[in-house]
A = this chain, B = another copy of it.
Amino acid sequence: MALEKITTSRSFGGVQGVYKHASAATGTDMSFSVYVPEHEAGARLPVVWYLSGLTCTHANVTEKGEFRRVCAERGLIFVAPDTSPRGEGVADDAAGAYDFGLGAGFYVDATQEPFVPHYRMWTYVTQELPALIAEQFPADMDRQSIMGHSMGGHGALTIGLSFPDRFRAVSAFSPIVAPSQVPWGQRALAGYLGDAVAAWRKHDAVALIEDGARVTDLLIDQGEADTFLTEQLRPHLLEEACAAAGILLTLRLQPGYDHSYYFISTFMADHLRWHADRLAIQKG
């Protein structure tokens, strides 16, 4: 698979890169960023996936996420994909809404026109991009974990719950935990997947858990001053589902924090250390 380097810069001893490739999954060029810490020649490093929220590209967390220091300390590769296909011929919301269409792929494979041909972020993030990362970077694909923010928290939870053997740690910042039950998610899932709500359940973390999906534990940070908290995020729905399912959820409500990267960057180190601890466990 061909990979085009957009930029690379040394940072915290490693290399922060931004790359572009022609995606078969989306039928578009896709950009993403990868941080590779300094490492011994021939070493293979664990991979932390970070899925971003509405309106974001790879750039938001890459510039504002403050993840490189701990990734360098703990030897973690950090991958940040884009949030939707982009470019000529890619459908967008007719009115240009921020929460649907471009920048709002919701980590699903669309079944509804006009989104079918390009909006295949599930396949892109779970199959195509991992294969590219495995091929092009010094990645140990037996040691992966996943995190995300808001819509990307939804993506991290649903993907983590769907591939429990692949991801050793799953965490999120202010995730959409039950898209079927909130306006952002209802809009997106109906738009991409149609009105038959049965098809939504595998893209809804709470529904996945209700339907039997399991991980050992989850870490979630949520700002209490987040303006989306009560209408769109509703972490208590995940709390109830985890309690019923026996999933150990660490849900930290952070007083005074909002939905921004000022919040994410504050707790990024905690999440990365939580991931690194789980990624360091030797498995037989």
Contacts and interface: CB of A to CB of B under 8 A. Distances in A.
Contact of A12 (B13, B68, B266): B266
Interface stretch (A49-57, A168-176, A234-242, A252-260): A252-260
Measured as residues with beta carbon below 8 angstroms from the partner, the interface class of chain A is 20 to 34
Interface of A is mostly: mixed
A223 B9 CA distance: 11
A66 interface: yes
A255 to B, nearest CB: 8
A225 interface: yes
A15 to B, nearest CB: 9
Contact of A9 (B9, B13, B258): B258
A265 interface: yes
Contact of A69 (B16, B66, B254): B66
Interface in A51-75: 63-64, 66, 68-69
A39 interface: no
A8 to B, nearest CB: 9
Interface in A119-159: none
A163 interface: no
Contacts of A256: 10
Of A10, A13, A66, A263, chain B has the most CB atoms within 10 Å of the CB of A10
Interface string A14-27: 00100000000000
Contact of A265 (B68, B223, B266): B68
B10 A258 contact: yes
A98 interface: no
Contact of A11 (B10, B13, B63, B262): B262
A55 to B, nearest CB: 15
Given A9-B258, A11-B266, A66-B69, 18 more contacts: A9-B260, A9-B262, A10-B223, A10-B225, A10-B254, A10-B256, A10-B257, A10-B258, A10-B262, A10-B263, A10-B266, A11-B265, A12-B265, A63-B63, A63-B64, A63-B261, A64-B64, A68-B266
18 contacts: A9-B257, A9-B258, A9-B260, A10-B256, A10-B258, A10-B262, A10-B263, A10-B266, A11-B257, A11-B263, A11-B265, A12-B265, A63-B63, A63-B64, A64-B64, A66-B265, A68-B262, A68-B266
